[in-house]
């Protein structure tokens, strides 16, 4: 039910031509109903007692599988078609539909300027995205998960390129799609490896006791599966080395960035790794690769965030960084911490994007912080919303982010990977710095832009922002409940370290930027800043290693093949046909007697053939 409602919404919106109000109603309403049915599912079905938030240890209960039939059966391999519900799924379903609903409501106001057809297209794509994401987390086998996996990649492509008349948006959409496809290939290869070596591709078979025993018996297989799954997760969650698409994806509408590129889709990688704990438990090597690359992403993206001018890109780097925390956490076995960070991050990052959306609406879609400033008084809601999100992101207690981010770091400290812990601690120092830099530059000081500031926020823009702001403040309660539900305890020592780090970062930002003066930011303008902003030349590396050779091959094909060889082949064919026709036309002499002779010869040959045979 949860799954079908958004799908139905997408179908209705894409097939029928509806008036604008109905489009909005269907778009947001289907997600609300999905959220309610998700709540119902979690509180009634699913498992023992009202979970996930009540019974101690309920989250680690085995899942409930709803078999709908067999999708494919080939030889001994059977791919079931069914749904799988356990604590992990329940958390994701509620986040996807809950935050998704708020963002749909926000979109009602945010996209009001679009034409009727585009408005419907927008909500159809959004609903389709939610449906694909729900399929991803509800699937009971890896192939079915792949369907949702590719589905969110595709709808993300649709929504990044929503403004398809802007070249930058189209290029960004294509880039996101291509890099996501790399991840899809990783997932397909992982599935193939499971099918070949384990003989099964459903969750019960691979992740259950039998699968765990098989994986433990073949550590090399477990390592390969783990690495391939990490490739998939890295592409979807914008982790090194496949991170390059996320910052460009900010070309899409801001609510899209909030829903897909902050709250839900980029956390699909976290879900995948959390789901396949059995694989990573069997292969410490794969877990270390995934966790260390996640931690490296968390740190590297945070440094890029420090130097960003484009406020949406800054949030995108922040997302990469935070997802790096989650990946690192779940890869090193701190599942509860990583997943609770997914929840709180969905709250505060969606909130930050909504606040930025309000700002962009007011300053005619300006995204450069250097042309903002002084907006605190004009946009109080955006200001307070952004502040709440920033405090939560920075990990200042008692805001939401603190409880989950700290849990990740505490988990790593106990998991014993000090390299990853050090990177995450540095990132935790940088995070408050970059987000408060953005806060002071955007809302403090004097207005530096040229255009008029005209705040206009309809009610549908306002109340989701308020709800998420409240969640960003108190959402830590969910994180704590989740972790106790999973049976992990908080660690006071690590909490103290994190708090000190966050306060140092905030203090540094405050001492430099508190006046909101852009001159304080001069130090980011140099060559170092430019180098960091280009993601340490990563973009250039892709360009040099892949894009430019591909262009070269394309140009060669265009010139040598399309330009010369192919036309030559074409005219050779034409000339051959003409010559053949001319030769045959000599036969048509028009002489009756020659025709008669041909007939006689033919008849004689037939006769001869009949005799000889």
Partner 1 sequence: MPVGLPFYLALSAVLFVIGGLGVLLRRDPLVMVMAIELMWNAANLAFVAAARHYGDMGGQVFVFVVITVAAADVAIGLALTVLLGRTRGTLDADRLKWLRG
Interaction site with partner 1 (CB under 8 A): 584-593, 596-597, 600
Q: 161 near 170, Cβ under 8 Å?
A: yes
Select 566 or 600, whichever has its Cβ closest to partner 1: 600
Q: 186 near 228, Cβ under 8 Å?
A: yes
Q: How far is the CB of 608 from partner 1 (least distance, A)?
A: 15
Select 584 or 612, whichever has its Cβ closest to partner 1: 584
Select 74 or 586, whichever has its Cβ closest to partner 1: 586
Structure tokens at 162: 């929503």
Q: How far is the CB of 599 from partner 1 (least distance, A)?
A: 9
Select 540 or 602, whichever has its Cβ closest to partner 1: 602
For tokens 């053939």, what's the residue? 609
Give the Cβ contact number of residue 161 at 10 Å. 23
CA dist., res. 436 & res. 514, Å (int): 9
- Calculate ∠ Cα 487-489-490, nearest 5°: 145
CA atoms within 13 A on the CB side of 607: 6
For tokens 């070269």, what's the residue? 552
CA dist., res. 356 & res. 556, Å (int): 45
For tokens 């995204």, what's the residue? 367
CA dist., res. 7 & res. 27, Å (int): 10
Query: How remote is the C-alpha of 398 from its chain's centroid?
Result: 28
Structure tokens at 276: 């396949």
Select 16 or 577, whichever has its Cβ closest to partner 1: 577
Select 16 or 604, whichever has its Cβ closest to partner 1: 604
Q: How far is the CB of 576 from partner 1 (least distance, A)?
A: 19
Cα-based distances in Å from 194 to 73, 93, 212, 234: 15, 26, 12, 19
Select 44 or 585, whichever has its Cβ closest to partner 1: 585
Q: How far is the CB of 580 from partner 1 (least distance, A)?
A: 13
Q: Provide DSSP, 227-250.
A: HHHHHHHHHHHT-TTS-THHHHGG
Q: How far is the CB of 584 from partner 1 (least distance, A)?
A: 8
Select 575 or 596, whichever has its Cβ closest to partner 1: 596
Select 73 or 597, whichever has its Cβ closest to partner 1: 597
DSSP state of 111: T
Q: How far is the CB of 591 from partner 1 (least distance, A)?
A: 5
Q: How far is the CB of 577 from partner 1 (least distance, A)?
A: 16
Select 527 or 592, whichever has its Cβ closest to partner 1: 592
- Calculate ∠ Cα 252-257-263, nearest 5°: 160
Q: How far is the CB of 551 from partner 1 (least distance, A)?
A: 51
Q: How far is the CB of 600 from partner 1 (least distance, A)?
A: 6
Q: Provide DSSP, 52-103.
A: TTTSTTGGGSPPEEEEEEEEEEETTEEEEEEEEESHHHHHHHHHHHHHHHHH
Cα torsion angle, 570, 575, 578, 579, sign: negative
Select 69 or 590, whichever has its Cβ closest to partner 1: 590
CA dist., res. 391 & res. 383, Å (int): 12
Q: How far is the CB of 578 from partner 1 (least distance, A)?
A: 14
Q: How far is the CB of 587 from partner 1 (least distance, A)?
A: 7
Contacts of 212 (CB under 8 A, 6+ apart): 278, 281, 282
Q: How far is the CB of 175 from partner 1 (least distance, A)?
A: 60
Provide the β-strand partners of residue 139.
83
Give the Cβ contact number of residue 67 at 10 Å. 12
Select 489 or 586, whichever has its Cβ closest to partner 1: 586
Select 16 or 596, whichever has its Cβ closest to partner 1: 596
Helices (H), 308-399: 311-331, 335-362, 380-394
CA dist., res. 334 & res. 410, Å (int): 9
Q: How far is the CB of 602 from partner 1 (least distance, A)?
A: 13
């Amino acid at each position: 039910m949860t799954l079908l409602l958004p799908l139905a919404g997408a179908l209705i919106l894409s097939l029928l031509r509806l008036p604008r109000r109905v489009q909005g109603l269907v778009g947001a309403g289907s997600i609300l109903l999905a959220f309610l049915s998700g709540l119902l599912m979690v509180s009634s079905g699913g498992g023992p007692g009202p979970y996930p938030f009540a019974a101690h240890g309920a989250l680690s209960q085995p899942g409930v599988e709803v078999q709908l039939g067999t999708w494919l059966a080939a030889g001994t391999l059977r791919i079931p078609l069914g749904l799988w519900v356990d604590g992990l799924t329940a958390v994701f379903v509620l986040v996807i539909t809950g935050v998704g609903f708020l963002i749909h409501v926000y979109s009602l106001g945010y996209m009001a300027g679009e034409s009727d057809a585009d408005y419907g297209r927008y909500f159809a794509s959004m609903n389709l995205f939610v449906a694909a994401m729900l399929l991803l987390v509800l699937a009971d086998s890896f192939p079915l998960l792949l369907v949702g996996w590719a589905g969110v990649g595709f709808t993300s492509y649709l929504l990044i390129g929503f403004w398809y008349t802007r070249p930058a948006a189209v290029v960004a959409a294509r880039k996101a799609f291509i890099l996501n496809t790399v991840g899809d290939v990783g997932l397909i290869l992982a599935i193939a490896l499971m099918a070949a070596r384990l003989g099964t591709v459903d969750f019960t078979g691979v992740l259950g006791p039998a699968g765990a025993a098989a994986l433990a018996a073949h550590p090399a297989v477990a390592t390969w599966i783990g690495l391939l799954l990490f490739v998939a997760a890295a592409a979807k969650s914008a982790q090194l080395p496949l991170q390059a698409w996320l910052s460009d994806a900010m070309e899409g509408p801001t609510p899209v960035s909030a829903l897909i590129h902050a709250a839900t889709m980029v956390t699909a990688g976290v879900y995948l790794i959390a789901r396949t704990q059995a694989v990573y438990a069997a292969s410490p090597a794969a877990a270390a690769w995934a966790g260390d690359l996640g931690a490296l992403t968390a740190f590297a993206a945070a440094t890029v965030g420090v130097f960003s001018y484009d406020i949406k890109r800054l949030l995108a780097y922040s997302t990469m960084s935070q997802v790096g925390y989650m990946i690192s956490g779940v890869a090193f076995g701190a599942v509860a911490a990583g997943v609770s960070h997914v929840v709180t991050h969905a709250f505060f990052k969606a909130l930050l994007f909504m606040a930025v959306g309000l700002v962009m609406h007011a300053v005619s879609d300006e995204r450069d912080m250097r042309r903002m400033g002084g907006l605190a008084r004009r946009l109080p809601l955006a200001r307070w919303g952004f502040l709440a999100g920033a405090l939560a992101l920075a990990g200042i207690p008692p805001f939401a982010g603190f409880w989950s981010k700290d849990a990740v770091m505490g988990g790593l400290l106990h998991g014993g990977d000090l390299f990853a812990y050090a990177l995450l601690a540095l990132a935790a120092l940088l995070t408050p710095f970059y987000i408060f830099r953005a806060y002071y530059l955007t809302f403090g000081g004097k207005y530096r832009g040229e255009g008029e500031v005209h705040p206009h926020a309809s009610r549908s823009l306002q109340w989701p922002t308020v709800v998420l702001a409240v969640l960003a403040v108190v959402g830590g309660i969910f994180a704590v409940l989740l972790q106790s539900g999973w049976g992990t305890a908080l660690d006071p020592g690590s909490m103290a370290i994190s708090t000190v780090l966050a306060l140092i970062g905030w203090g540094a930002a405050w001492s430099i930027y508190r006046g909101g003066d852009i001159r304080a930011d001069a130090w980011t303008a140099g060559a170092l800043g430019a180098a960091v902003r280009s993601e340490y030349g990563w973009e250039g590396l892709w360009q040099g290693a892949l894009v430019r050779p591909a262009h070269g091959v394309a140009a060669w094909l265009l010139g040598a093949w399309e330009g010369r060889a192919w036309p030559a082949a074409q005219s050779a064919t034409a000339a051959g046909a003409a010559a053949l026709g001319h030769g045959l036309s000599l036969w048509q002499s028009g002489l009756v007697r020659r025709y008669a002779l041909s007939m006689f010869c033919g008849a004689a040959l037939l006769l001869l053939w009949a005799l000889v045979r």
